[in-house]
Amino acid sequence: MIPYGRQDITPDDIDEVVKVLKSDFITQGPVIQDFEKSVTAKVHSKYGVAVNSGTSALHLACKALHLSHGDSLWTVPNTFVASANCARYCGAEVDFVDIDPCTLNMDVSSLENKLVQAKKDNKLPKVVVPVDFAGQPVCHEEIHELSEKYGFYVLEDACHASGAIHNGEPVGSCKWSDITVFSFHPVKIITTGEGGMALTNNDEFAKRLALFRSHGITRDLEIMNDKSQGAWYYEMQELGYNYRMTEISAALGRSQLKRIDEYVARRNYLAGVYNEAFADLPLKSQTVLPGNLSSYHLYVVRVSETKRTNFYNTLKSAGIGVNVHYIPVHLQPYYRSLGFSPGYCPEAEKYSREAVTLPLFPTMTDEEQLTVINEVKKALL
Ligand SMILES: *Cc1c(COP(=O)(O)O)cnc(C)c1O
């Protein structure tokens, strides 16, 4: 089976992890801070808070932005469920904005129309979560402009997009977002086993991210209510969580980060080969806009709805690890129980009926890719 994604672990990665295992700290030590610094240096953000998953990073980001009961968060249906669930953890409502059928990212005019209506109804969102689907950065400038006009926070779900670039800015720089979130799950661009990071340029958000990461406890005298106590004193100021990353994970991440540009380059090369091979076939691939360097976490194609089941099954039985990204989040039973139903986001729903993800990972060989291409051609006959 050629999988749709796969991590790359080198002897250097293993050495770095072993070093930590032999050291004094296997969690809450110096490597986590060093990993955070390496990531922020790479993406040009002021702060990075490393956590135990991308999902935790999304949850902490919502807490940092004071998302709560009575608020709402908007995201897209074409994403992993975590982009929406983070609002539910905070007791907030979720709503969905449809996607652009070519870029497969949040459709900015749908967002704007929805904002116009929400303003009339006095139901504007507190947070909007655009998702860099498959590694392609969203239309940042436009979304940022709307955020200023309508007064919402932008929480960018860049779990697919570490290593991507938009108009010269690395994804994660937070030039157009309040907080940007990465995942380091093994199928993503770089891995820490499980892990994630929340990036921001805002001092207050950074403090709150760190506070909520570790039980809401602080040892920072500056922010304590009671400053008269001794060196032993700590305060729990908020109901936080244990979302900390381990030193073991951070060591792996720091080592992987050194190869992120190579990974993204190889992923782009392989995507280019696919694009060329499929140019004359009845398949549609994702449009990557000028100014974007996608990190190509995923390579997705659209095949006509009537052919999709057969196409998917034929490839699967030929040993090609196909997948569907994503089942529209609003059509999951949990979200249906909150009142969403088919027809709510027609573009995302149509895309989902046609979508197939093909294998793409940096260690994929040219021969493996040729096998996939040949099987795709056969499956379309
Ligand atoms: C992977 C992913 C997440 C969650 O990340 P984990 O590290 O698996 O918790 C969130 N959003 C998107 C778009 C993802 O792809």
pLDDT (tens digit per residue) in 13-43: 999 999 999 999 999 999 999 999 999 999 9
Q: Cβ contacts of residue 246 below 8 Å, gap of 6+?
A: 26, 27, 32, 52
Which of 60, 78, 159, 297 to mutate for ligand 1's pocket (most ligand atoms within 8 Å of CB)?
159
Banded model confidence at residue 162, pLDDT cuts 50, 70, 90: very high
pLDDT at 43: 98
pLDDT at 99: 98
Q: 300 has which bridge partners? A: 357
Residue 276, helix vs strand vs coil:
helix
Percent of the chain residues past pLDDT 90, beyond the cut: 99
Residue 258, helix vs strand vs coil:
coil
Token reading at 235:
């305060």
Identify the residue whose C-alpha is closest to ligand 1 atom 6: 54
Task: Calculate how far, in angstroms, residue 228's C-alpha sits from the geometric centre of ligand 1.
Answer: 42
Question: Which helix (H) or strand (E) covers residue 47, if one does?
Answer: strand 47-51
- Whether the CB-CB separation of 75 and 96 falls below 8 Å is answered with yes
C-alpha dihedral, 334 to 68 to 207 to 215, nearest 10°: -70
Residue type, 19: K
Identify the residue whose C-alpha is closest to ligand 1 atom 5: 54
Q: Cβ contacts of residue 289 below 8 Å, gap of 6+?
A: 103, 136, 139
Whole-structure pTM value: 0.98
Classify strands 47-51 and 196-200 as parallel, antiparallel or unpaired: antiparallel
Ligand 1 pocket list (CB less than 6 A): 53-55, 79-80, 82-83, 131, 157, 159-160, 183, 185, 196
Question: Which helix (H) or strand (E) covers residue 299, if one does?
Answer: strand 299-302
pLDDT at 42: 98
What is the overall mean pLDDT for the chain?
98
**Each residue's pLDDT tens digit, 285-312:** 999 999 999 999 999 999 999 999 999 9
Token reading at 36:
């955070």
